[in-house]
Structure 1
Amino acid sequence: MDRRSLMWLVFMVLVVTTAVYLVVMEDELVSLPPRILGSAGALVEGSSGATGEAMKPTKLCILNTDLVLIYIPASGAAVVQSILLRFGYLNDLFVTLPIRPGNPSIPQDLRSGDIRRQDVLQPPAVFSRELTRNILAHQVRYNRDALHKIVKKNAQYVTILRNPLDRFETDFVSSHLEMQFDVEQRPNPPALQRYLSAPEFWEKRRMRVNYRCTTNCMAEALGIPVRGRGMGVFPGLGPGGKAVIDYIDTLESEFALVLIYERLNQSLVLLKRHMCWTIRDILYDVGLKEPPANQRDVSDESKKLQFRRVNGADHLLYYHFYDIFRAKVAAEGEDFKREVRHYERVLDKVSRYCSSTVNDWKAANQTVVWESEWDEEFVVTRRMCWEIRRKRDDWDKLFRERYSSQSQGNN
């Protein structure tokens, strides 16, 4: 072989070797697991993490662990809250708790929205970094300036909205809101029906004891200034209506995600993708879902119109973010739809297994969720079932026990 042929052969070998190397490196990058939490919230590249094997992503993403949930009662927030608390506990994050055990909300100043240091549990020494609060999922009214004083400024803000009339019915029945009004109680017709027949009449007779929100409650939780203002029916809002519209536009820029209860499973898969979590992280107990809104006459349009008249801000808020949510889902493409269907099959499998194993100790000790294009294989155990079924007050106790133990261990 002459010298020119030898040089050409060497050159071709180098080209092929380089091409093979690049292909291998590309595969390594694509299959690289997302960053999983180590102890005390530290990020560890490529580790399996506290919740099991690492996720198998379809594309590279950055794990998010700092999140604030603005909790709105009867909107499906209990499902999201349980997911966040479980994620925080299993990944050894610091979750913000009120100083008083069992309190479902974080105390705030009624005017400024500020949260006093003495009203929230302080991180133990193991969380010595500045602003170490990773997750806030207890009830708190949205005020970004006030919340930035106790959570990281790069925290992701999320909330979940529900059709205003359905949300109100659930809250009215479960919280006995008829007790908020100076109206004679009688079984026939039920208090809910009487309220919806004349909501403005009832609202004028509000009692000031045991005060609880009954109008524009989603808007109020998100900090929209609606108290005492006439947020009228569409298309014309009452006084302050322009301010509400402007505020909603601000919320759109400040919230990472606004989930929709009527599209709960789509919402959770969207949350998973945004936070770079796994399907295992967004499993939930179907028993936490809101009861169906079926105790009113849904065919009576006049009642709907009257309700909308005193809840104009909530309707604006809900339909604004419902449209945004649909656009986000559409932008995810067909792959998102397939992942949602897969997630629903997994959720059904896990729910059936947990229902059987919790009540029957003769049932299998575990079940396997096989690998998919969106996730690695993982095992569901009895312990995991109990974790999925825990509610806020259960997690509250576990977090306090952990923080107390960590504090004692550093003394």
Structure 2
Amino acid sequence: MDRRSLMWMTFMVLVVVTAVYLVIMEDQLAVRQTPQAHTSQDTGAGGNAGAAWGDTAKEAGGNLGAELGDPAALAGNNAGSVWGDMGEAAKSNAGAVWGEAKPAKLCILKTDTVFIYTPACGSDVVQSILFRFGYRRDLFVALPGKPGNPSILQDPRSGDILREYLLKPSAMAARADWDINILAHKVRYNRDALHKVVNGNAKYITILRNPLDRFETDFVASHLEKQFDVEQREHPPALRRYLAAPEFWEKRRMRVNSRCTTNCMAEALGIPVRGRGGNALPEPDGNGVMHYISKLESDFALVLIYEQLNKSLVLLKRRMCWGFRDILYDVSLLEPPATQRNARGESEKLQFRRLNGADHLLYYHFYDIFKAKVAAEGDDFHREVRHFERVLDKVSLYCSSALDDVSVANQTVVWGSEWDEEFVVTRQMCWSLRRKREDWDKLFRERYTHGSQSQRNN
């Protein structure tokens, strides 16, 4: 056999090797598209298969070179080496594919939720998420009997929510007893009272925020300066004047309006910080507050932290067995940034803390618990949070364009990942992300009154 024939045969061997390798890699890519539950034993199995293929290939290449004679030996050995290297690559890829796949975790969808609304803590974000979730899944979401009311009325003594305080869907008109799936309007926490109207399997959640940041946002957004009998002046602004002497302002607070101005998170969560008529009680001692906080710790499935909102929502997703589309939110619902915390002196911060001791104990207790829960989730949790933030950015970018420009495509796809399945974002869904409480109230009332069908794309 002449040299040209030998070279041609070697070339054909390499062609065959390449074709086999491509088939192997195509199979591996197919596996990556549909990961399954495998163990570390699969990694070894994949690696052993690749090694065996490589060794066999190398040996076959060497034998071929020997049969063809010395001039072709080098080419044959090279072919075997190439084939062997490909086998090693197959070993690595197969092992990585099987090794990366994780055992499937048992996850049971949870739909029944009570959210305790805390003012200026990002509650509008969580409230909107729950309304959208309930609407899309045809759940019974509690509504106040009076349209437009942000709160659900409670008996001032017992804290009970009477059935006549709630809107009753026409479909339930003949039923004496009916359970609520989701309650997210403002209501003061009282576990016994809520248990009478909400599904017994409901998970209780709330959200907390740094007390000084929370107060600043509420002061500005709600014009809390109107609560105090103090002369209005532009310079210095009312907020700075309040933080300079909070006790002075509180002593002059007008009683015609019972709006909370101190320990507002603690009050929303049922910690006794105000008496009848809205008058502030003497600041409870630390042991008294911690007694209530320990009860809340056992009652609440999760306490979200506003400063760690995205981590909080991913943790909520995991606890409730939800998807990314269930925890999406519109950034316009976020609270305005606080700017005064670092501008105050230590004495002023101490004065504020003395007036809001219950809120400080509450916030830092649950912040520590939240950090411990995040740490227990492991490194995979942080990768999921980063992926969720990318999804959130993609959806926000699409919605900002789609709602302002009719020429933009009617939908975009969020590809599946190891943490969630693929889903489609439509213009309709973008509108639902922007809805506020009053908008959701109208939609739910229309459904409960006329029995309209759920809009599945919301």
Query: TM-score, normalising length from structure 2?
Result: 0.74
CA spacing shift, 1:284–1:103, aligned 2, 3 Å: same
**Deviation, structure 1 residue 376:** 1.1
Structure with more helix by fraction: 2
Instruction: Quote the Cα distance in structure 1 between the aligned partners of 2:117 and 2:103.
Output: 29
**1:198-230 Cα distance to aligned partner (Å, 9 max, x none):** 111111111012221000000000000112333
**Deviation, structure 1 residue 122:** 1.5
Instruction: Quote the Cα distance in structure 2 between the aligned partners of 1:357 and 1:322.
Output: 37
Instruction: Quote the Cα distance in structure 2 between the aligned partners of 1:273 and 1:151.
Output: 22
Letter of the 1:152 counterpart: N
Instruction: Quote the Cα distance in structure 2 between the aligned partners of 1:269 and 1:129.
Output: 38
Letter of the 2:207 counterpart: I
Q: Paired residue for 1:176, among 218, 223, 233?
A: 223
Query: Which residue is 2:107 aligned to?
Result: 61
Letter of the 2:157 counterpart: R
Query: Which residue is 2:183 aligned to?
Result: 136
Letter of the 2:424 counterpart: V
Letter of the 2:434 counterpart: R
- Decide whether the 8 Å contact of 1:192 with 1:296 is kept in 2: no
Range 219-228 or range 135-144, more displaced: 219-228
Letter of the 1:319 counterpart: Y
Q: Paired residue for 1:124, among 167, 170, 179?
A: 170
Query: Which residue is 2:206 aligned to?
Result: 159
- Decide whether the 8 Å contact of 2:171 with 2:448 is kept in 1: no
Q: Paired residue for 1:350, among 375, 395, 398?
A: 395
SS at match of 2:343: coil
Query: Which residue is 1:386 aligned to?
Result: 431
Instruction: Quote the Cα distance in structure 2 between the aligned partners of 1:396 and 1:330.
Output: 38
Query: Which residue is 2:126 aligned to?
Result: 80
Instruction: Give % identity.
Output: 74
Q: How does 1:323-338 map to 2 (within 5 A)?
A: 323-338=368-383
**Deviation, structure 1 residue 59:** 1.8
State yes or no: 1:367 paired with 2:419: no
**Deviation, structure 1 residue 347:** 0.1
**Unaligned residue ranges in structure 1 (runs of 5+):** 1-25, 30-55, 232-238
Whichever of the two has the greater Rg, that structure is: 2
CA spacing shift, 1:28–1:405, aligned 2, 3 Å: farther
Instruction: Quote the Cα distance in structure 1 between the aligned partners of 2:394 and 2:201.
Output: 36
State yes or no: 1:93 paired with 2:139: yes
Query: TM-score, normalising length from structure 1?
Result: 0.82
- Decide whether the 8 Å contact of 1:71 with 1:138 is kept in 2: yes
Quote the RMSD (CA, aligned, Å). 2.2
SS at match of 1:362: coil
CA spacing shift, 1:57–1:156, aligned 2, 3 Å: farther
Q: Paired residue for 2:442, among 388, 397, 408?
A: 397
Instruction: Quote the Cα distance in structure 1 between the aligned partners of 2:103 and 2:360.
Output: 37
**1:367-402 Cα distance to aligned partner (Å, 9 max, x none):** 111110011111111011001111111010000000
Letter of the 1:137 counterpart: A
Query: Which residue is 1:194 aligned to?
Result: 241
**Deviation, structure 1 residue 257:** 0.4
Kindly indicate whether structure 1 or structure 2 has the higher relative contact order, using CA contacts under 8 Å at least 6 residues apart: 1
Query: Which residue is 1:146 aligned to?
Result: 193
Q: Paired residue for 1:247, among 292, 303, 310?
A: 292
Letter of the 1:288 counterpart: L
**Deviation, structure 1 residue 264:** 0.1
Letter of the 2:282 counterpart: G
- Decide whether the 8 Å contact of 1:124 with 1:403 is kept in 2: yes
Query: Which residue is 2:41 aligned to?
Result: none
Instruction: Quote the Cα distance in structure 1 between the aligned partners of 2:224 and 2:418.
Output: 47
**Deviation, structure 1 residue 28:** 9.0
**1:251-290 Cα distance to aligned partner (Å, 9 max, x none):** 0000000000000000000000000000110000011000
Range 204-213 or range 82-91, more displaced: 204-213
**Deviation, structure 1 residue 78:** 0.4
CA spacing shift, 1:93–1:282, aligned 2, 3 Å: same
SS at match of 2:403: helix
